[in-house]
Structure 1
Amino acid sequence: MKNEDLPVGLFNGTVATTNGLYSIKDIDLDTAKRYIKQKGFISAIGHEATAEIMSDLFGMNIPMNRIQFHQQIGQIGIVFKLNERPPEGEVLDRAELERVGYCLKIMERFE
Structure 2
Amino acid sequence: MGQSMEVALFNGTIATTNGIYKISDIDIDSAKKLIYKNGFISAIGHESTAEIMSELFKIDISMNRIQFRQQVGQKAIVFKLNKRPPEGIVLSREEIEKIGYSFKLMERLE
TM norm. shorter chain > 0.5: yes
In structure 1, the partner of 2:106 is 107
**Is the 1:23–1:109 Cα contact (8 Å) retained in structure 2?**
yes
Instruction: Report what 1:13 is aligned to.
Output: 12
> Where does residue 82 of structure 2 map in the other structure?
83
Output the CA distance in 1 between the equivalents of 2:8 and 2:14: 12
Give, in whole Å, the separation in 2 of the partners of 1:85 and 1:3. Answer: 38
Contact 1:8/1:76 (<8 A) preserved: yes
CA contact (8 A) 1:3 1:73 kept: no
Deviations 1:2-59 (A, max 9, x none): 8743100000000000000000000001100000011000000000000000000100
1:95 corresponds in structure 2 to 94
- Please, what is the CA RMSD of the aligned residues? 1.2
Instruction: Give the alignment of 1:1-111 within 5 angstroms.
Output: 4-111=3-110
Identify unmatched segments of 5+ residues in structure 2: none
Q: Which runs of 5+ in 1 are unaligned?
A: none
> SS where residue 41 of structure 2 aligns?
strand
Number of positions where the alignment pairs a residue of Structure 1 with one of Structure 2? 110
SS at match of 1:13: coil
Identical residues among aligned pairs (%): 65
User: Please, what TM-score do these two structures have when normalized by structure 2?
Assistant: 0.97
Q: 1:23 to 1:96 in 2, by over 3 A?
A: same
TM-score, structure 1 normalization: 0.96
Contact kept? 1:45, 1:65, Cα under 8 Å: yes
